[in-house]
Chain A
Amino acid sequence: MNWLLDIIESSIGKKLLMALTGLGFCVFLFGHLAGNLTIYGGKDAFNSYAEHLHSLGPILTVAEIGLLIFAMVHILSGIFLFWGNLKARPQRYVMKKSAGGRTIGSRTMPYTGFLVLLFVIFHLMNFHFVDKTNTTIFQIVQNAFSDPIYVGIYIAAMLVVGIHVSHGFWSAFQTLGANHPKYMPLIKGLSICFSLIVGMGFGFLPIYFLFML
């Protein structure tokens, strides 16, 4: 197993962990969004979707533990990479300009990532670790989104996730070695589409609750 440790310790190895777990989250986001779209089908559609999800029982628990492990790996390797990068340039430039490579997404990855973490904790406290005995998930969500402050936080968080993923998505492919003039434009296009879908798809739900329900 030494060879595996060597790989994980290397800069490329940590990037690979970052990319694989990041793409895992992208798949999760896609599924999560698809599930949430049942909200547009009304109260019963959403509640029954939640019920079906929870009837999966042990499968759901395994998936949750998997997500938790992915989160730990993503965050830990992110911290190591960020720390290494700070150390790699002890003396900053007096004047530094972009030569055109960086984007808002790429510039802010560690910060948007950190904000996403804060949001995920907040989000789980809102909707996951709550007493659900005498209520339905739809009611809990509706209740939360009757407060404009919650709506504001959720919309802002979805913007942040969109920015994180706008770089993360294509970057993960590059890290995994998938970059070719033939298909890189497609991956970059998908990256932008995906971040828009995630940002707007999730971001519109709280607005829908606040104004339409």
Chain B
Amino acid sequence: MTRSNGKKNINLTLKVWRQVGSDVKGRLETYQANNISTDMSFLEMLDVVNEELIINHRDPIAFDHDCREGICGMCGAVVNGRAHGPEKGTTLCQLHMRHFSDRDTVIIEPWRSRAFKIIKDLVVDRSALDAIIQAGGYISVSAGGTPDANVIPVPQEAAEKAMDAAACIGCGACIAACPNASAMLFVGAKVSHLALLPQGAPEAARRVLKMVQKMDDCGFGNCTNERECEAVCPKEISITNIARLNREYIKAGFL
């Protein structure tokens, strides 16, 4: 996307998906976002639009958000065809308006997947992701007194990879961007961060089988290795985690 050329404030035309509830038809509606500071975040821009809607006694655009610093995973929308907008490794709340130009038209749609019902406008129900995590179950830890540090040796490389996978904030952008609405990157990250550590080993087989079964039951699509997920993931989770998920699944299923 082109940058605004030094100009501080920009005017945009927004086409926003409006839908009052899960079972009603939605449609794109057009709004003007005027005098938007390029220092604002995308969500702050939506706040400005909403304030004006409220003043005019119209229904504000519903969107999810919480931390607004890229760590909670609540925000997200497909902006001009890209999940979380045009910048790499960025959540929608961390996307700044300086990446847009004056008089741009911006299309804003919710995550679309059979497994994510639209609750209202841009807010979707992502509880399927929680259900997958729950299906994974517990890990066995001896819940005694405070253990000494480093009693369980973990190789540095494994720790790093596990941390990379654990960076997943469960935003659902991978599913939104996947041409097949597959949740393999999310599940790959969740399976990997435990599978790589000794603490996750005892239940590894059961965990991966249950999580994949839940993923399928929730109605997510099948991965065809299009690699759109890792390209939009705000935490830049790699599809090597999907390969690990496949390996864990093969191990659990056949060995």
Contact = CB atoms under 8 A, between A and B. Distances in A.
Contacts of A14: 222
B222 A87 contact: no
Contact of A95 (B80, B182, B213, B221): B80
Contact of B82 (A15, A89, A97, A107): A97
Given A7-B253, A85-B181, A89-B114, A106 B224 contact: yes
Contacts of B99: none
Contacts of A11: 182, 212, 215-216, 220-223
A93 B109 contact: yes
Contacts of B36: none
Interface stretch (B3-11, B40-48, B236-244): B236-244
A3 B179 CA distance: 30
A98 B83 CA distance: 10
Given A10-B213, A11-B222, A178-B243, A97 B81 contact: yes
Contacts of B181: 85, 88-89
Of B115, B240, B242, B243, most buried by chain A (CB within 10 Å of CB) is B243
Nearest to B180: A85
Interface residues of A, number: 44
A16 B226 CA distance: 16
Contacts, number: 134
A176 interface: yes
B222 A84 contact: yes
Interface of B: 15, 17, 28, 78, 80-83, 107, 109, 112-115, 177, 179-182, 212-213, 215-216, 219-232, 239-240, 242-247, 249-250, 253-254
A76 B139 CA distance: 38
A16 B250 contact: yes
Contact of A89 (B81, B112, B243, B244): B112
B219 to A, nearest CB: 6
A15 B223 contact: yes
B126 to A, nearest CB: 15
Contact of B28 (A12, A94, A180): A94
A174 B83 contact: no
A101 B228 contact: yes
A175 B227 CA distance: 12
B222 A94 contact: no
Interface string A8-30: 00111111100000000000000
B107 A167 contact: no
Contacts of B226: 101-102, 106-107
Contacts of A178: 243
A98 B212 contact: no
